[in-house]
Amino acid sequence: RGTPMEEAPVVFEGEEGDVSVSARVATLPGFRHHLFHRALDFYTSRTWILRGGELVEIDVPTHADADVRERWLVIRPRTEWTVGGTTHPGGSLLASDLDGYLAGERALHVVFEPTETAALAGWSWTRDHLLVSLLEDVRDRLDVVTPARGWERRPFTGQPQLWTVEAGALEPDDNDDCLVEGRDFITPSTLFVTAVDGEPELLRQAPRRFDAAGLAVGQHFVKSLDGTRIPYFVVGPEGGHGSPAPTLLGGYGGFEVARQPEYAGVLGRSWLASGGTYVLANIRGGGEYGPRWHQAGLREHRHRVYEDFEAVAADLIERGITTPAQLGCSGGSNGGLLVGNMYVRSPQLWGAIVCQVPLLDMRRYHRLLAGASWMAEYGDPDVADDWSFMQTFSPYHLVEADGAYPPLLLTTSTRDDRVHPGHARKMAARLVELGHDVTYWENIEGGHGGAADASQQAVMSALAYTFLQRHLM
């Protein structure tokens, strides 16, 4: 510190095309490791470890994540990996002795292997244990793995009975105490402290922002067009409304992001408390069932993401939860691309759509702001074979003059540094030109979040829920 940058030695560097470059230090006394990481794109990377003053690359596939702790190496391959004569499915968690692996040994212990209903969500270390977070049909489950006992795995006794649960070590270099946080749609964030094999002790709970009395969370499954089982959550009055009700359907379906039950005070006060039902669809493209769920919606398979969302919408109507005139959907960013495709693909299913900070012009997205970093997700439109499938999910190019489209609210931010506001501007201009019902709002601040502070967030939320209430209630 305090020395000129031009005198600083280069410790590690990436290449111009990398998505990111990072370094970290594992600080456990007696096992200090320096790790360097290059993300080649969103889903491939390379990792090095400093040994004897030299950088040594950890020899794992570029589609695999590598983590080092004490004398252990843990690896999560994203796709099927054959090593040492054994084939491990993508989404497995594998462990090895670090020194032995660097020396060429390939004795791997299987800590976790995915099933049709269970996927690895993540892991973290305490002093002597590995906490493994799993998703079992989109419900969190925590296990404790002990390397010193031959990687013995057992349930984590300190888990609260809530849909979404996260755990992390309190002092990972010193002890095995954990902080555990749980929440769901109607339960605000609740924080516990516990030992690995202890009972959770409540520390505190975030304030309740709406009256959840009489509300319940349910989960359903529906088959998509190709027969794949798609889960979704429904939040509304226990036992239902008794008749179809205004319903808002949300989803994301991209970048291996798992959408789980979250407490949302604004949603509760602005929609649920007004008599609306909320639904969250766990469609492909996300990470709810691990890498396979994500890869099933990549690039030329993107249509499955939209078919899944439409299947959930149709099931809500068939179950009598809502009607097309009372059903709306909303999404932002990649979720804005999702609902933008609902607008052009299946307008008959929707009474209104809210599309926020969206991607909509897939012909030029890679030339705008951070767009080039997403080509592993969507494809490269400058490649003819890629554009042949990408044009089927580029809403800007699919709008028709004689289309019967539902009312649409388009919002963006002038200072969005991820998804260029040009997507929303062009789409709005095109819809106005064709005489379709579109409402447009551009906030001049706020970046990709669409708002720069709480007051702006309040305005943006009020716009969205007022629009939905006017058209659906």
- DSSP strand E in 126-214: where? 130-136, 139-146, 152-155, 164-169, 177-183, 190-195, 201-205
The helix/strand/coil state of 424 is: helix
Contact 336, 303 (CB under 8 A): no
The pair of structure tokens assigned to 319 is 């179950």
CA 3 – CA 250 distance, rounded (Å): 51
For the chain, the C-alpha Rg in angstroms (whole number) is 24
Residue 153 bridge partners (DSSP): 145
- Distance, CA of 138 to CA of 469 (rounded, Å): 29
Set 333, 346, 394, 413: catalytic member = 333
Can you name the residues that pair with 21 across neighbouring β-strands?
38
CA distance 394 to 257: 21
Q: How many CB atoms lie within 10 A of CB 230?
A: 21
Copy the structure tokens of residue 380: 């490269």
Q: How would you class 27 by CB atoms within 10 Å of its CB: exposed for 0-12, middle for 13-18, buried for 19 or more?
A: exposed
Cα torsion 10, 15, 19, 25 to 10°: value is -30
Look up 333 and say whether it is catalytic. Answer: yes
Active site residue 270: no
Spatial separation of the C-alpha atoms in residues 432 and 418, rounded to whole Å: 25
Q: Write down the catalytic residue from 63, 109, 220, 448.
A: 448
Question: What's the rounded Cα separation, in Å, for the pair 293 and 120?
Answer: 12
Q: How far apart are CA 218 and CA 442, in angstroms?
A: 36
Q: Are 344 and 434 in contact (CB under 8 A)?
A: no
Neighbours of 17 (CB within 10 A): 9
Pairing of strands 164-169, 177-183: antiparallel
* Separation between Cα atoms, residue 322 and residue 244, nearest integer Å: 4
CA–CA distance, 374 with 351 (Å, rounded to integer): 31
Residue 278 pairs with which residues in a beta bridge?
Answer: 235, 248
Distance of CA 346 to the CA centre of its chain: 24
Residue 124 dihedral angles phi and psi, to the nearest 5°:
-155, 160
Catalytic residues: 333, 448
